[in-house]
Amino acid sequence: MSLLEVSALNAFYGDSHILFDVSMRVERHEVVALLGRNGAGKSTTLKSLMGVLEPRSGSVTLDGIPLAGRKSHAIARAGMQWVPEERRIFGSLEVEENLVLAGLTASKRWPLERVYDVFPRLYQRRHNRGTDLSGGEQQMLAIARALVRDPKIVLLDEPFEGLAPVIVRDLMAVCRKLVEEGQTIILVEQNIAATLALAHRAYVINNGHIVEEASAEQLKARPEILHRYLGV
């Protein structure tokens, strides 16, 4: 059994049908990318997995536990963490307060020393408020806040958006280290080169439909797919 199994997921915003029978799987210790144009349904898929948007039908199973239709906090307790595009850190709290607060309800959590080992910059800024951080530092904190709960899988939504190339490089190195340590990740990201450098496999979504599944190497070898569905 795969760590995450999604079958025939349908999601709506009001009367608008957004996701159509989306099915995918993610194995343990795997990075799976979800690729597509803006508005294709990538973020909606992550929100549906996390329970932020309740699917109308279909199933989501994490490590054998059915999650579809459950509340976000219950899904988080089951081992899924979502890092939204907007980051949503607590700007009025210090870095360390953000991390401690995130771990309060976790059944198992990382010690702060482990978080700071992954993100040394956050150790240096641990007594700074969230609003005092740069965009890259805020993204590090958003990811660290998810990791402190020792998740089985992390959903990353546009983690590199708007960041300087040197910061993207540093975050990619962090993601590689996490994968080497066994972390499982679903990645939504417009930076295709960075995405295919990190991912083992990818699904391509177009107008709410999964239209392709391939390894990262297969997609690199078939640029016509990326051109057709992403305009790359």
Q: What is the pLDDT of residue 124?
A: 97
Query: What separation, in Å, do the N-terminal and C-terminal C-alpha atoms of the chain show?
Result: 34
Q: What is the pLDDT of residue 163?
A: 87
CB 162 within 8 A of CB 155: no
Q: What is the pLDDT of residue 106?
A: 86
For 64, the 3-state DSSP assignment is: coil
Across the chain, what does the average pLDDT equal?
A: 94
Q: What is the pLDDT of residue 199?
A: 95
pLDDT at 208 over 90: yes
Rounded average pLDDT over 36-41: 92
| pLDDT 10s digits, 9-38 | 999 999 999 999 999 999 999 999 999 999
Each as own residue / partner, the long-range contacts of residues 84-92 (CB below 8 Å, 24 or more positions apart, any chain) are 84/142, 84/157, 85/43, 85/157, 85/158, 85/161, 87/138, 87/139, 87/141, 87/142, 88/142, 89/130, 89/133, 89/138, 89/141, 89/142, 89/145, 90/130, 91/129, 91/130, 91/131, 92/129, 92/130, 92/131
Q: What is the pLDDT of residue 223?
A: 87
141: left (phi over 0), alpha (psi -120 to 50) or beta: alpha
pLDDT at 231 over 70: yes
Q: What is the DSSP letter of 130?
A: G
| pLDDT 10s digits, 144-178 | 999 999 999 999 999 998 888 988 889 999 999 99
pLDDT band at residue 229 under the 50/70/90 scheme: confident
**For residues 6 and 191, which has the higher predicted lDDT (pLDDT)?**
6
Rounded average pLDDT over 84-91: 91
| pLDDT 10s digits, 185-203 | 999 998 898 899 999 999 9
pLDDT at 232 over 70: no
Within 8 A by CB and 6+ apart from 115, the residues are 99, 122, 144, 147, 148
pLDDT band at residue 105 under the 50/70/90 scheme: confident
As a whole number of angstroms, the distance between CA 107 and CA 100 comes to: 13
Q: Determine which helix (DSSP H) or strand (DSSP E) holds 189, and give its type and residue range.
A: none
CA triplet 83, 88, 91: central angle to 5 degrees?
Answer: 140
Q: What is the pLDDT of residue 162?
A: 86
Instruction: State in words which class domain 1-79+153-165+184-232 has.
Output: alpha beta
pLDDT at 75 over 80: yes
